[in-house]
């Protein structure tokens, strides 16, 4: 099944639903773990009578009702969805991309009476990550993966719950997995075409990390567009990690190597902040001497001086669509093992 995201839906308003007690609330009120509360409500007999009474009392006092249980294929239901970000915690809370993504995810999940459990699985972790071990413990109904790498994909084969990736997973056979992606390659092509149309002739790039599909695809799109105009990228490609500092350092190295650069396509708006800082440090004016175009259409792009032209991607919509895909697999309304969708990008000129 292919799901298409409409480019017109760029703004997502988070409407908080009526707050209803969750299984986590029941567990807290009963003074037991989430897993124990789930076992009681699932009818398991290996629970102490006193514990069972505590959970049942909490259910009555809170007015908790298990939602849509009849639509579940399996015997258990927690009402919890894991969002596993395969990045270190520092990056998760520093990059506004993730907060925008979570807005879209949260909108869909709360409307379906699910709560988010936010987990991190740093790039240094493999299948033994505590987050991935938790997925195998019947604690959540499904998982949304962000920035998934090859080693994470292999571990997810054994978790036994529905999993959908935000973005095409970085693995040997991504089509075996359900995911919703952004047209990263097409967005980069649009960026370079825009710069060429503006008369720029020496177009460099600060590319994203090459262990992520977004980084790979945006670099591929840049190179494809240069080739379209018969241009070479020798000495014009630098790499960053999508963070501000890496953008600044990459640009300083670029200018040492190719001081005549008159345009830079930057693979993320956060890196573009660092690029602009480096250009100011070296006395170059933007856009007079060097034009800069970013990627993401982060809110900060419009507040920068000068405002940053950027490739817009519907991040909130991406999160919402991925959550809908996962809910369909959980409920059984999506019967195909793997579904893939692509959201479009567009140039936001400032």
Question: What do you get for the CA distance between the two ends of the chain, in Å?
Answer: 37
Give me the pLDDT at residue 128, please: 60
Query: What is d(CA 327, CA 321) in angstroms, rounded to the nearest whole number?
Result: 10
Q: Which structural domain, as residue segments, surrounds residue 253?
A: 184-312
Per residue in 66-95, pLDDT tens? 654 444 444 457 889 999 998 877 778 888
SS3 89: helix
Give me the pLDDT at residue 123, please: 61
Q: Is 271 inside any structural domain?
A: yes
Give me the pLDDT at residue 300, please: 81
Q: Is 206 inside any structural domain?
A: yes
Intervals of the chain under pLDDT 70: 1-20, 34-35, 42-46, 66-76, 123-129, 137, 149-155, 157-158, 172, 334-350
Please enumerate in sequence order all residues whose Cβ is within 8 A of that of 192, keeping only pairs 6 or more positions apart, or say none.
203, 221, 222, 225, 226, 265
Q: Is 226 inside any structural domain?
A: yes
Query: What is d(CA 346, CA 26) in angstroms, rounded to the nearest whole number?
Result: 45
Residue 284 belongs to a domain with what CATH number? 3.40.50.2300
Q: Is 280 inside any structural domain?
A: yes
Q: What is the DSSP letter of 332?
A: T
Give me the pLDDT at residue 8, please: 34
Query: What is d(CA 326, CA 239) in angstroms, rounded to the nearest whole number?
Result: 33
Give me the pLDDT at residue 342, please: 57
Q: Is 85 inside any structural domain?
A: no
Q: Is 90 inside any structural domain?
A: no
Give me the pLDDT at residue 18, please: 45
Please enumerate in sequence order all residues whose Cβ is within 8 A of that of 35, keeping only pairs 6 or more positions apart, or say none.
137, 138, 139
Give me the pLDDT at residue 240, please: 97
Assess contact for 133 and 101: CB atoms under 8 A. Answer: no
Query: What is d(CA 284, CA 288) in angstroms, rounded to the nearest whole number?
Result: 8
Q: Is 234 inside any structural domain?
A: yes
Alpha-carbon dihedral angle through residues 159, 161, 166, 169, given to the nearest 10 degrees: 40
Considering only CA atoms, which of 246, 240, 254, 239 is closest in space to residue 284? 254
Per residue in 45-61, pLDDT tens? 667 889 989 999 998 88
Q: Is 243 inside any structural domain?
A: yes
Q: How many domains does the chain have?
A: 1
Considering only CA atoms, which of 206, 211, 216 is closest in space to residue 185? 216
């Amino acid at each position: 099944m292919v799901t298409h995201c409409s480019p017109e839906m760029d703004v997502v308003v988070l409407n908080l639903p009526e707050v209803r007690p969750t299984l986590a609330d029941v567990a807290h009120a009963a003074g037991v773990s989430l897993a124990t509360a789930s076992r009681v409500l699932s009818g398991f007999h290996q629970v102490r009578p006193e514990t069972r009474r505590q959970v049942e009392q909490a259910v009555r006092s809170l007015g908790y009702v298990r939602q849509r249980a009849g639509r579940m294929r399996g015997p258990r239901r927690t009402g919890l969805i894991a969002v596993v970000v395969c990045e270190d915690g520092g990056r998760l809370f520093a990059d506004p991309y993730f907060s925008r993504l979570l807005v879209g995810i949260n909108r869909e999940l709360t409307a379906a009476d699910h709560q988010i459990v936010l987990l991190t699985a740093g790039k240094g972790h493999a299948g033994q990550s505590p987050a991935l071990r938790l997925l195998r413990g019947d604690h959540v109904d499904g998982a949304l993966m962000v920035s998934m790498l090859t080693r994470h994909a292999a571990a997810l084969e054994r978790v036994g719950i529905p999993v959908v990736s935000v973005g095409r997973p970085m693995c040997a056979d991504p089509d075996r997995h359900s995911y919703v992606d952004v047209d990263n390659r097409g967005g980069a092509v649009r960026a370079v075409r825009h710069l060429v149309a503006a008369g720029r002739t020496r177009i460099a790039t600060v590319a994203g990390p090459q262990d992520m599909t977004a980084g790979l695809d945006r670099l591929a799109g840049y190179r494809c567009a240069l080739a379209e105009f018969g241009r070479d990228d020798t000495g014009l490609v630098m790499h960053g990690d999508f963070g501000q500092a890496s953008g600044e350092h990459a640009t300083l190295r670029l200018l040492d190597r190719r001081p005549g650069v008159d345009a830079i396509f930057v693979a993320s708006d956060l890196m573009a902040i660092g690029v602009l800082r480096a250009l100011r440090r070296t006395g170059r004016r933007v856009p007079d001497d060097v034009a800069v175009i970013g990627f993401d259409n982060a809110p900060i792009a419009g507040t920068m001086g000068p405002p940053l032209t950027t490739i817009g991607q519907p991040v909130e919509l991406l999160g919402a669509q991925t959550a809908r895909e996962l809910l369909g697999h959980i409920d059984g309304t999506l019967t195909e093992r793997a579904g893939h969708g692509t959201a479009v990008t567009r140039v936001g000129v400032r």
